[in-house]
Structure 1
Amino acid sequence: MAESNMKKSLGFGAALSTVAGTIIGTGVFFKASAVTTATMSISLALFAWLLGGIINLCAGLTAAEVAAIFPETGGIVRYIEEPFGKFWGFISGWAYGIVYMPANVAAFAIAFGTQFTGLFHLTDSWIVPVGMITSLSVALLNFISAKCGGVVSSITLIIKLAALGVIVIFGFLQPGNVDFRLFPIQAGAHREFWGALGTALLATMFAYDGWIHVGTLAGEMKNPQRDLPRAIAVGLTIVIIAYLLVNAVFYFVVPLHQIAGNLNVSMEAADKIFGGIGGKIVTAGILVSVYGGMNGYTMTGMRVPYAMGKKGSLPFSRFFAQLNRAGVPWASGIVQYVIACLMMLSGQFDAITNMLIFVIWFFYCMVFVGVMKMRKTRPDLHRPYKVPLYPIIPLIALVGGTFILISTLIQQFVTTAIGIVITLIGVPIYYYMQKKKGIN
């Protein structure tokens, strides 16, 4: 008989590794190309990585306030439902749990399959099968227990940080024969400063995404009020430092024009640092990094449909609300795995991720506004953690998020429109369930 409640087995270490481990996945390796193409300037590229990190840090610190108030499984659904009502809570949960999280698992699986087939010289026809098998192994590990998923996050985080650390340390010991300058911060030739910065900043968003997902584990944390804000703040700080150092090494050892448009810049940098075996070492490191990121999205993602099912918000809610003996929402996990496999069949990494940037940041901005709204409408709430420097940090997060929404809509209109349409499918489902509850 499955347990009716989830076990509180996760501490600060598991939460921290989930934050950093989910964020550090594929972006640090694959987005340097896009950022460099947009800026054609080392100084502006690194500034874009720093600014993107600051925006996400402010976003994380803001969301942590509402996460500490409502330390329950489900995360963003509760953060939006409380200030804006059940409709917006449902739509955010639909987009987040049924579309966004499986899409990220699919994107990570495709990235894993691509690197795996390249390492072992397999044909491209193996990419999707390898991705499906890998994501299934991640799901099965998480079905064992939440603690097991946390251990996987911790181990893969240690390995990927160690690999990145080796690249950084030995990278800066190289002669550095390229023109490496951090100042003045300016765009490269034939680039307009603000346009280049905007495009580059947008490219960093996927690389930094993932900080909010730890909130879905709050109901299984031993001390969420204390550990959740700390995990978000410390985890994001680690990621920002890691991203700046790794990208600085890329620019230190590889000429700028060889990074622009080059998705294999990490391998090229490793070849220069370690010699011929460097590419294989980095590929192995990328595989560990991607596996850890996939684990983070799998571990946190299955908790959202579970929380919605427990409230009776979804069709077949009883199925989604099932737990196994270890207190893990296996049914939600299976549904998300099937959805992810269907998305994998497209084989398109960028198309899958770009489609959802607008959608998820729309709901992030709702969270920021909700925090400020509840400061006025619910001053009586017990707040174990408050956003520092209020309202400056929430406003930075909101302004940055608004910029991301506008830029994404302009630059990626078609893929953004697809993401919006898929999200809007949740509207009739919401009203159907409301009507069903009224009848019952």
Structure 2
Amino acid sequence: MAMQQPEEQSNSPQPHLKKVIGVFGGSNILIGIMIGSGIFYIGSYVLERSGMSMGLALLAWLIGGLVTLLGSLCFAELGAMNPATGGIYVYLSEAYSPMVGYMFNFQSMLIGGPGSIAAIAIALPLALKSLIPMNGVVVKLVAIGLIVIFTLINYFGVDTGELVQNIFNVLKVLPLILIIVLGVFWGHYTPRWSVVQQPKGGSAVDFIQMIAFAVIASLWAYEGWTNLNTVAGEMKEPQKNLPRALILSVGFTTIVYVLFNLAIYRALPFGQINHAIQHGQLYLGTAVAERFLGQFGTILVAVTMALAMISSLNGMILAFSRYYYAAAQDRLLWKPFAHVHAKFRTPDVSLFAQMLISIVLVLTRELDQLTSLVVFSGAVFNMLSILAVPMMRRRQPDTPRPYRVWAYPWTVIIATLAFLIILGNNFIDDPLTSILGLAVPAIGAVVYLGFRRYYRVH
């Protein structure tokens, strides 16, 4: 399909995306994406990787939050300097080349965005199977229904999607706070605070590797922190509000994760926690709710998990659709993807294209396959985006920067090292999937050259 000239050359005014997202709404988008169902079970992996040392596990959660905060500070500088819709796509294009930006965008449009949406849509009915029996077909039908419903919600306006995000976030955070208060203040057990715990027969290097392994597990719970920059073009006063929303959302999420796991350690005896993890019973938050609230606690956790995944799903649908829009604005995707609905002021074609790709992935892939596809390439581009900070300071030293990264360059160095550890760990654990995760961006480079050649001819 041939693309036409940019919208700016049209005789009639074209609608633009609305700037309606403030600090509270922006923070809720990120909190909604980051705090999903993982809060109830990832803590078990962190504790197990910490050699069952509660003090070391809490330290891993703090380090994970700190690394995420350092990364978000880098994104705050990039976003405040160039508050355009598209996020990482924009930064990679400016710092390296348009081809690198498009490689990220291509994998985000085909796998990263729709894959994450499909994964969370499938995970939600799976989490409720204990309360509502469902077979595989019903699970996928529910997942498709969720994708359609929340695509329509975001089609009717970014302010509508933001309102839904705010409501579901508040509804999910209140039960989490209840569990935290019950565990921390009414729990009877004293956690084992010591962090000096080496593997049997292990050296100091083994100990450091164990900490790094535990931190990697915690970082998966913080995933999604990069997505607010995608809608920077729809934020009010993004130069001020984007950094504030990033810092507030990551800080709040870190506090919730640390206190939630502390509540588990206070409410449950170590023997019970150890036995549960050894037998694959990873949802320790559910056990805390059951201890204090009985059967109602089980239902409360199930509802909270559903609310958490709904807010995560809604936030992803809102944010990821902007990748299509940004690429079309740069004439690297067909013009209809840059269309903005005249009344609702949303990228309607991009939203529905994302919906269709997500549905295809729901029908053709299982949950574990979807999550494996998006992890490795996503970490590569996140790391490149962090390194874009020094690249842009060198390339554009005179460009106004309303926000500058704290403790530069150490912020960039530490965050980059953290992502290198993640990438190395993923490649060692699953080299084939890691390589496949880079194949789609490589194809994106070929598609980019095709679009560029097309426009040279036309």
- Which category describes the TM-score, using the shorter chain as reference length? over 0.9
Q: Counterpart amino acid of 1:24?
A: I
Paired position in structure 1 for 2:188: 176
Q: What is residue 451 of structure 2 aligned with on the other side? A: 433
Equivalents in 1 of 2:380, 2:164: separation in Å? Answer: 30
Query: Higher mean Cα deviation, 13-22 or 37-46?
Result: 37-46
| Rounded Cα–Cα distance in structure 2 between residues aligned with 1:141 and 1:277 | 31
Correspondence for 2:28: 17
Aligned mate of 1:235, from 242, 249, 259: 249
Contact preservation (8 Å) 1:206, 1:353: no
Q: Give the direction of change, closer, same or farther, for the CA distance of 1:152–1:184 in structure 2 (3 Å limit).
A: same
TM-superposed deviation, 1:14 = 1.0
Going from structure 1 to structure 2, the CA distance change for 1:322 and 1:111 (only over 3 Å counts) comes to same
Q: Is the 8 A contact 1:27 1:208 kept in 2?
A: no
Q: What's the secondary structure of 2:301's corresponding residue?
A: helix
Q: Write out aligned runs for 1:109-124 (5 A).
A: 109-124=121-136
Matched-pair identity in %: 28
Cα drift, residue 213 of structure 1: 0.7
How well do the aligned residues superpose, as a CA RMSD in angstroms?
Answer: 1.9
Of residues 13, 17, 22, the one that matches 1:6 is 17
Retained in 1: the 8 A contact 2:116–2:374? no
Give the partner amino acid of 1:193.
F
Aligned partner of 1:388: which letter?
Answer: W
The amino acid across from 2:53 in the alignment is: S
Offset, 1:195:
3.2
Residue of 232, 236, 240 corresponding to 1:222 = 236
State the TM-score, normalized to the length of structure 1: 0.94
- Runs ≥4 residues deviating over 4 A: 187-192
Name which of structure 1's ranges 400-409 and 82-91 shifts more when overlaid on structure 2: 400-409
* 242-251 or 116-125, larger mean C-alpha shift: 116-125
Say if 1:344 and 1:323 are closer, same or farther in 2 by CA, change over 3 A: same
Residue 323 of structure 1 corresponds to 340
* Partner SS, residue 222 of structure 1: coil
Residues 347-366 of structure 1 aligned to structure 2 (within 5 Å) = 348-366=366-384
Q: Is the 8 A contact 1:68 1:384 kept in 2?
A: yes
Q: What is the number of equivalent residue pairs in this alignment?
A: 437
Query: Which of 221, 227, 231 is the matching residue for 1:207?
Result: 221
Match of 2:273 in 1: 256
Q: Distance in 2 between matches of 1:19 and 1:127?
A: 26
Contact 2:182 2:263 in 1 (8 A): no
* Other-structure match for 1:305: 324
Structure 1: distance between partners of 2:419 and 2:69: 12
Offset, 1:346? 4.9
Q: Hey, what does 1:27 align to over in structure 2?
A: 38
Shift of 1:200: 2.1
- Partners in 2 of 1:350 and 1:188 — Cα distance? 30
- CA–CA distance in structure 2, aligned partners of residues 232 and 347 of structure 1: 32
**For each residue in 1:260-301, what CA deviation from the matched residue of structure 2 results, as whole angstroms up to 9, or x when unmatched?**
532433322211121122111100000000000111111000
- How far apart in 2 are the matches of 1:188 and 1:110? 37
Partners of 2:440 and 2:344 lie apart in 1 by 33
Give 1:175 deviation, angstroms: 4.0
The 2-side partners of 1:187 and 1:133 are apart by 48
1:399 equivalent among 412, 417, 441: 417
Quick one: which amino acid aligns to residue 57 of structure 1? Answer: L
After the TM superposition, which of the residue ranges 4-13 and 217-226 deviates more from structure 2?
A: 4-13
| TM-score of the two chains, using structure 2 as the length reference | 0.91
- Tell me the secondary structure at the aligned position of residue 185 of structure 2: coil
Post-superposition offset of 1:362:
0.9
Determine helix, strand or coil for the equivalent of 2:353: helix
Output the CA distance in 2 between the equivalents of 1:152 and 1:423: 33
Q: Which amino acid aligns with 1:166?
A: L
Aligned-partner Cα distance in 1 for 2:330–2:391: 24
* Pairwise CA distance, 1:187: 4.9
2:94 to 45, 59, 82: 82
Distance in 2, Cα, partners of 1:282 & 1:347: 27
Distance 1:188 1:345 in 2: 43
Deviates more, 1:287-296 or 1:5-14: 5-14
Q: Contact 1:47 / 1:185 at 8 angstroms: preserved in 2?
A: no
Which residue of structure 2 aligns with residue 409 of structure 1? 427
- Secondary structure at the aligned position of 1:367 is classed as helix
Shift in CA distance, 328/25, structure 1 to aligned 2, threshold 3 Å: same
Picking from 167, 177, 184, the partner of 1:155 is: 167
- The higher radius of gyration belongs to 2
Deviates more, 1:98-107 or 1:230-239: 98-107
Aligned equivalents of 1:185, 1:344: Cα separation in 2: 44
Match of 1:247 among 237, 261, 264: 261
Gaps of 5+ in 1: none
Question: 5+ unaligned residues in a row in structure 2: which ranges?
Answer: 1-11
Question: What are the Cα deviations for residues 297-348 of structure 1, in whole angstroms up to 9, with x where unaligned?
Answer: 110000111110121102xx11211222211112111121122222223563
| Displacement after TM superposition at 1:423 (Å) | 2.5
